[in-house]
Structure 1
Amino acid sequence: MPFLSVPSLDRHLRMSFLAAQREHVAETGHTDAGGLSLADLACDSIWTGYIRGLLEGTLGHPGMRPLTCSEWWWLDHGMDGPEFIARVTLFRSVTGTRLTWSIRPSQRPNHHTAPLLAAVIPLLSAQHIPELTLECPAHDTPTRTAIEQTGAHPLPSPTPKARYSLPLRVR
């Protein structure tokens, strides 16, 4: 059963994460790793800096601004160690709090969005976040359905994305 975890330097998880990034490159032409390339991620010092940056809120990669987010990874128990499925990132700014996520292309048919959101929402409530903004491609009906199942309300969107507001019960 999948579970949330903070990013980790675990060797097996790194291999799984790199495999997921190769899938993203095949699909979109780039990784889903903060602007880092596959070559960057293969470099031990950059990988270590990337993980520390995610954990500490800073990135030591030239041209990158400091992170103002929290990130968790959605993992499954693999035969040799944890397997990377997705990431979920919380961005905080003066205009609000936004949640983004990215599911590994080969895992999308397995419908991870709803359980991923269900797992992360209690963590966010515990951080005293009163409301989230969620976005997804307007044509992505399964993701829109998963978002709507959380109780999120549609918002007007000036972009081709569907936008939602999700009030959270602050604990």
Structure 2
Amino acid sequence: MVFVRNAALLLGLLSVAIGQAAAQVPTSTAVQAPAPLRLIGHYRYTGYTVFDAESPNEPTAVRGVGGTLLLRPDGTYAKRLTLALGTRTVSFSQDGTYALAGDSIRFAFRDQKGPDVQRGTARLDSTGRHLTLTILGYPAGNQGVYELEAAPAEAVAAPVVVPAPSPRPAPRKKRRR
């Protein structure tokens, strides 16, 4: 019982001493944590470069990149990426969650194969307008680098819903005369 009372007194005195010591540390020498990366908002895709570690060729800058990325405050995202490949445009729609830890970013989503995760880094320039996402690829050493620009919310169009093609009408039977 005496030990418990003394332990409580000792802990109280220790916390007061720590508080006074912290108050005496000049602010110029105090270590401050870096400000968290604030990525919330709408972005437009402006570039995509593929780095293939197994290829002797230079990285491939993919042409015809477009679409948007919406990063919501609740940790969810909506990706609508388009790539012009030859004479056709390929669209990628992805919805899921994202998490940030320092400059590391993790996207979790579900696709046709089931749950999946992509990891990489996020770098926002000092103006908060240009975002670079580097996503680690497979096999190890490969990566995709996406360049995005911040877009005002009103400038980001809602995803275009393309109706499924209607089935072709059955061929008419010729009437006998």
Instruction: Work out whether the TM-score is over 0.5.
Output: no
User: Which structure: larger Rg?
Assistant: 2
More strand by share: 2
TM-score, length-scaled by structure 2: 0.27
TM-score normalised by structure 1 residue count: 0.28
Give the number of the structure whose residues are more often helix, by fraction: 1
